[in-house]
Amino acid sequence: MKIAIASDHAGFPLKEEVRDHIRKLGHEVHDLGAYNTEPSDYPDFAVLVGKELMAGTAERGILICGSGVGVCIAANKMPGVRAGMCHDTYSAHQGVEHDEMNVLVLGARIIGSALAFECVESYLKAEFIATEERFVRRLNKVRAIEKQYMPSVAGTTLAS
Ligand SMILES: O=C(CO)[C@H](O)[C@H](O)COP(=O)(O)O
């Protein structure tokens, strides 16, 4: 799978570990920064991951900041991006299965690398359950909200 990953300075150490871990699992990883712990601004990195999803150059994204909150808020401003902060493995796979989450968000100041790796693996193994009518119905309602309240980007969506 092609995966875009990015973090701000606070997420940088965990991002490095997660990036190496998912490369070892055999995925193609696009590391979009940050590349050091110099202070940086999380929206700048959230948008880089969102752009890869919108362009279809990545199928899934992973974003990391200190808490996870900032990058989650910023990423969800982009059309077609469904980012969820998951610090447990159940949410990490259920978010994909029920809600077609396409960006996993982690807080580097909240969880350690061992749990982060398990969350990432649960997320990457999961698939949206498109055969369940209720999940598709709810996803379409989410898309309708996006279309109504992001009118300037109506028609712009993910390449999926
Ligand atoms: O978690 C974050 C946003 O939700 C940021 O990583 C955090 O705010 C960075 O803090 P600081 O600039 O004090 O290192």
- What string of DSSP letters covers 97-152? HHH---EEEEETTTS-HHHHHHHHHHHHH----TT-HHHHHHHHHHHHHHHHH-GG
Query: Atom 6 (ligand 1): residue with closest C-alpha?
Result: 66
The per-residue pLDDT for range 28-67, each reduced to its tens digit, is: 999 999 999 999 999 999 999 999 999 999 999 999 999 9
- Ligand 1 pocket: which residues have CB below 6 Å? 8, 10, 39, 42, 65-67, 69-70
Could you tell me the CA-to-CA distances from 121 to 18, 44, 62, 124, 139 in Å, in that order? 10, 26, 12, 5, 23
Superfamily (CATH) of domain 2-153? Sugar-phosphate isomerase, RpiB/LacA/LacB (3.40.1400.10)
Q: Are strands 103-107 and 2-7 parallel, antiparallel or unpaired?
A: unpaired
Query: 71-122: per-residue pLDDT in tens?
Result: 999 999 999 999 999 999 999 999 999 999 999 999 999 999 999 999 999 9
Query: Known catalytic residues?
Result: 65, 98
For the chain, give every domain's residue range. 2-153
| ipTM greater than 0.85 | yes
